[in-house]
Every structure is written in structure tokens, then in C-alpha cells.
Structure 1
Amino acid sequence: MSIISTPSTKGIPAGTDPPPPPPPYDGTSPFPPDEGSTPVRDSGDRIYVGVTAAIVVLPFVGLGLAGWLLWGRLIHPVDIVLAAVLYTVTGLGVTVGFHRGLTHGSYRAIRPVRVALAVAGSMSFQGDVIGWVATHRRHHAFTDRPGDPHSPYRYGTHLWGQLHGLLDAHVGWLFRNEQSPPERYAPDLVADPDIRAVSRAFPWLCLLTLALPFGLGWAIGGSWLYGVTGLLWAGLVRIALLHHVTWSVNSLCHMIGERPFRTRRHDRATNLWPLALLSFGESWHNLHHADPTSARHGVDRGQIDPSAAVIRLMERAGWAYDVHWPTADRVAARRA
């Protein structure tokens, strides 16, 4: 997908020359004020920051509490099974549904599967589906240059700037109430009644993603204590882990790793193999930025890509079609 950014002349009086365009980005300087976003500066900022803090901090607190409880051995096999199942379902909802399907159109899915994946991704606690897609398309439109919502090069390429940028790309950007307008970046989803319905249901899906492990833990274990530990491990800890794996693709996969494929100027996306399994193949990020519509990101020998395997299974079942599989010629043409 190509998104063209054009300078706005809104608010410039008639007969007045528009301001000169900013100097071209040199690849090393801190970013000027954001392009491609809509800053929001009103009384809703405090609510936004408060909700964001709860979403970011609460699972992390749960992770710390879980560590303390693990020391006391308050964990049950059912907690581990529930956590693994929900991590897989919600993680694939993000990678196969939100990312490769809805954002990049790597394949087309039949309606029930498309909606189910959107629901599963929403239960990851990473934001409503339309906002997620709009932000990610903006990231691809401005990768690692002014306008990118979460580039680790935002504060320059000197040591302190990169340390600051790494933290900002990982989690800090979430606290800036700068919206990527869906009407500009995701008009196809805004026009889709099914996806709009899932987007509106996001708060309820967040409650569901916490209620499920509590209810299932209680039902399977036969006691409210199993429900509480299920909520802790398969709810909060599972959400925290998936959050930080996803955010690591935003941050670490633009600073650390290999770059066997050519990307656009200033785009520094890398492959980071230690995250491959936990991210369901998303950390083969260099190929993804070299060929964003490819349904498979891990194309070299030994590169595990569970998301691509799921898309393949859906294709064979007749649930997905028009899949953009990489060809040998297409991959070779993108080699660095």
C-alpha cells in the first residue's frame, strides 16, 4: 500500500504564500513535529493518558505479582494451558488478522473468519481494530522518518537519542494522544460495517479477555482461587507478554538484527530471530518492510513463521483466497 502525504494549506489566508516546506530528512537528525497525525489537545487528553496507563501498567503489575506468587508456587497447570491458548488465539488475531490481513491485504478471508480474527486481535488489549490498522499503515507510509508514530530514530542517531528513541518506540509513543486519522489511513475499514462493529465493541472485548480466564479457571479448577490465578496468569501476564513482544517489533526490530533485503530510504527494519516464535513470525521484519503485502515474512531456510502457516491452512480449508505468497523471483529481486 502506498500512502502519499501532501502538505496542507488549510488556514492560510488567501493571497498569502504558504510556508516553505521543511528541509528533507537527513536520516540522523531528531524528527520535527509529527506529520500524518492529528494532535489532540483537549480535556480528553487526561482520560486518554489514564486509560493508556492502565492498559500498559496493569498487565505489567500483574507480571510482577505473578513472579512473586510463582516464588510461592501459586500456579496451576490449568493456568499455563489457558495462558498458552489465549496467547496463541489473541496473538494470531493480531498477526494474521489485524496485520497481514486487514492492514496489508496479504490475503482475503471469508466473512466469518475475517470477523473472528478481528475479534481475537481486539482481545489482545492493543486497541480497537480500525485505530490499530490506521496507525500501522501510517508507520509504513513514514517508516523511520518524520511522521512515523513509533520510530526509535525519533530523537536522532546519537547514543542518548537512540536510547530515548528505543524507549519511545517501545511504549512511550502510546502516551502521545496523536491519532492517525482512520478516514485517511483506513477508509476501507471505516466503510466496513462488520469491522466498525468490532471496533465499537473493543471495551467489551477487553472485559471478555479478562473474564474468560477467570471463568474458565474457576469452572475447570472448581474453586474461585483457580479463577483468580487464571485471571492473573492467563489474563494479565498473557496480555503483558504479548504487549511487549508486539512493541519489541516496533522498537528492537528497527535497531538490532540483520537486513538481508533492501527497503526504502531511511527504513531500518531488521530480522530478529529470538522473537520469531513468540511473535508468530512478525520479527522477520526486514522482508516485511521490503515486501509489505507478502503473506510470509520468514522466507529463508529455518525462519519459522507460524502466521504464514495459519494462512496456508486457511487457504487449504477455503477460508482464505487471493493469498500473496512470495515467489523466488520476487524475493531475489529484493535481496540487498
Structure 2
Amino acid sequence: MTSVLDQATSEDPSGKPQSGPKPILEGRRGPGVQIAVYTGVLLPLVALVAAVPFAWGWGLSWLDVGLAALFFCISGIGVTAGFHRYFTHGSFKAKRGLRIALAIAGSMSLQGPVITWVADHRRHHAYSDREGDPHSPWLYGTSLPALAKGFWHAHMGWLFERDQTNQDRFAPDLLRDKDIMRVNRQFGLWTLVSLALPALIGGLATWSWWGALTAFFWAGLIRVALLHHTTWSVNSICHMIGERPFASRDKAANFWPLAIVSFGESWHNLHHADPTCARHGVKRGQIDITARLIWLFEKFGWASNVRWPTTQRLERLAAKKS
């Protein structure tokens, strides 16, 4: 039997099938890339474990807190408004300056280069919660041990696998974009900036090496770790538990406790029901910070053709669910 991973079909950025000999995977990661993945995932995690004793009375200042919050917002919005809603789903059109800025900000999250991120996520939508999905928690069954294994896989286990999503199949538009290709190649530079800039600001603000070190720890490593696990929780928790008011092809659900820290990404059910919609939190009281920011981009003239939700569309999706 032919596996879905070997099927010779391709898809456009919206996830619609097309003809063409383009398999889902394009090979295996090299040792250097694999080492970089392990380092980028595990080093912030180790720092997160060390955070409590480090903060106990001598390792955390209000400057560190402020810098961590600032860089969390910059890199987090780079992922949600940039990597996700703009580059992956085309929820709006952006002028060149905004497009480049969003690619750089998203790269500073240390979640991988922009084209890799987008290709993985488009593949996720094309095969959501089925064979071919890179991070579904439902791939091993529904028993308690299977769900525990699935949670680990969806949350971060999938990152350590060596298979690479075929970028020519899932992100051909970005491969043709010279600006985005440049940012993609500069991922190492933006990783360095993301970690070193808070340290530089902290050192200059306190005029001390200690201020630089604590800013690097909190606004660099800890901030990256918290953002990693926020993003990964949308992959894992939001496909396991929560409310599902709209019809979708998978088990995507709304998990309200993550709404603020994820900038609105945890209103995940509507997103999978209507992937190109620029707003995910569409019901009363569902705060969606990313959508509000896109609204500001539109007001300033930096974004256009924003795909806002319509009453008719939402009613149809709700009716399909019932």
C-alpha cells in the first residue's frame, strides 16, 4: 500500500491538491542541522529548569522582566502575524517593509527559518490529524498511553525527527521571493541578534557585565523557551481538549487559558475551520491580539486585502457543526 508520504501530488499555499511529482518529504536533515535543532530546543529548556533557583533573590530585575516581555511580544507576533497568518495562510497582503520585518521578527523566535516553518505548517493543514501531519497528537491511537505518546510527539517530539518537509511542494511562493529567501538564509544571524540584543541592552542600561548576563538569561533563553512552549501547546493541547463550535476536518479546539499568551492563536477551532481568516477569536469575549495588530497594520496602510470573518461565513461553519 502506498503511504501518503510517498504520493506524487503537490499542493498550493492554500492546501489545495495539484498534480505533479512532488512528494511530501524531501530527504533527511544533515547532522549539522540536527545538532542545531537539538541545541535550539534543549538549551532554552535547560535554562527554564534553572530559572527558579536563578531568580531566588539575586538573578532577576525589573529590567530583565521588561526586556523579556518586549522580545516575547516582538518574536511572538513575528510568528503569529508573520509566519502563521501572513506567510502560511495569506490572511492579508503586506507591503515589502512589513513583509521583511515580520520574517525577521518570526526568525527571532528561534523556531526555525521562515520557509521551513511555513512548509511544515502548510503540510500540517493539508493532513491535519491524519497520516502526513508532522505533529498530530492522534497518530498513535486513543488509549491513555497512546495519547501520552501523542502529546509528547505533537508538543516537541516531532522536532527531533530528521525528515524534512518538501519546501518545493509546500512553499514554492516563498522560494521565489528574493527578500524572504535572504531572511531565510540569515536565520543564524537573527538567532544571534535575538539572544545578543537583550544582553547588549541590559549591559548598557546597567553598565555592567552582570546586567548583560541576566538580560541574556531572561530576555534571551527564558523568553525563547516560554515562546517555544506556547507555540507547541497550540500544536498539542489545542488538538486534544477544548471547545469546537465550528466544523473542521480535524480535532482542532479552542483552549481559552492560552489566548493571551499565544496572542489569539489558541482560538484554534475557527482557524482550522477557516484557515485563511485573519481573526481567530471571533466570538464575544475571545481576545485576539494578533488580529488587532493586523487591524492596525491595515489602518496604517501597511496591510491590505485582509480576510476578515463575515457573519454569513461563520453561520455556515456553525451550521455544519450542528
Q: TM tier, shorter chain?
A: over 0.9
Aligned identity (percent) is 53
CA distance in 2, matches of 1:272, 1:182: 30
The partner residue of 1:206 within 179, 186, 191 is 191
The question of 1:58 aligning with 2:43 is answered yes
The answer to whether the 8 A contact 1:276-1:284 is kept is yes
The answer to whether the 8 A contact 2:280-2:291 is kept is yes
The question of 1:93 aligning with 2:106 is answered no
The partner residue of 2:150 within 160, 165, 181 is 165
Match for residue 115 of structure 1?
100
Match for residue 237 of structure 1?
222
CA distance in 2, matches of 1:248, 1:234: 21
CA distance in 1, matches of 2:41, 2:18: 31
The question of 1:144 aligning with 2:129 is answered yes
The partner residue of 2:310 within 314, 323, 327 is 327
Deviation digits for residues 176-206 of structure 1 (CA, Å, limit 9, x no counterpart) = 1111111100000000000000000001110
The answer to whether the 8 A contact 1:48-1:177 is kept is no
Structure 2 residue ranges without an equivalent (≥5): 1-13
Cα drift, residue 66 of structure 1? 2.1
Match for residue 317 of structure 1?
300
Match for residue 4 of structure 1?
17
Cα drift, residue 7 of structure 1? 9.7
The answer to whether the 8 A contact 2:24-2:169 is kept is no
Root-mean-square deviation (Å): 1.5
Q: Which amino acid aligns with 1:248?
A: S
Larger gyration radius, structure 1 or structure 2: 1
Match for residue 23 of structure 1?
none
Matches within 5 A, 1:19-98: 36-40=24-28, 44=30, 46-98=31-83
The partner residue of 2:161 within 176, 185, 189 is 176
Q: Which amino acid aligns with 2:274?
A: D
Match for residue 242 of structure 2?
257
Cα drift, residue 231 of structure 1? 0.2
CA distance in 2, matches of 1:286, 1:36: 25
Deviation digits for residues 93-140 of structure 1 (CA, Å, limit 9, x no counterpart) = 000011000100000011001100100000000000001000000000
3-state SS, counterpart of residue 284 of structure 2: coil
Structure 1 residue ranges without an equivalent (≥5): 11-34
- Give TM-score, length-normalised by structure 2: 0.92
Q: Which amino acid aligns with 1:181?
A: N
3-state SS, counterpart of residue 126 of structure 1: coil
Match for residue 27 of structure 1?
none
Match for residue 191 of structure 1?
176
Cα drift, residue 72 of structure 1? 3.1
CA distance in 2, matches of 1:118, 1:69: 33
CA distance in 1, matches of 2:77, 2:302: 15
The answer to whether the 8 A contact 2:134-2:158 is kept is yes
- Give TM-score, length-normalised by structure 1: 0.88
Q: Which amino acid aligns with 1:316?
A: K
3-state SS, counterpart of residue 334 of structure 1: helix
Match for residue 19 of structure 1?
none
Match for residue 277 of structure 1?
260
Q: Which amino acid aligns with 2:276?
A: T
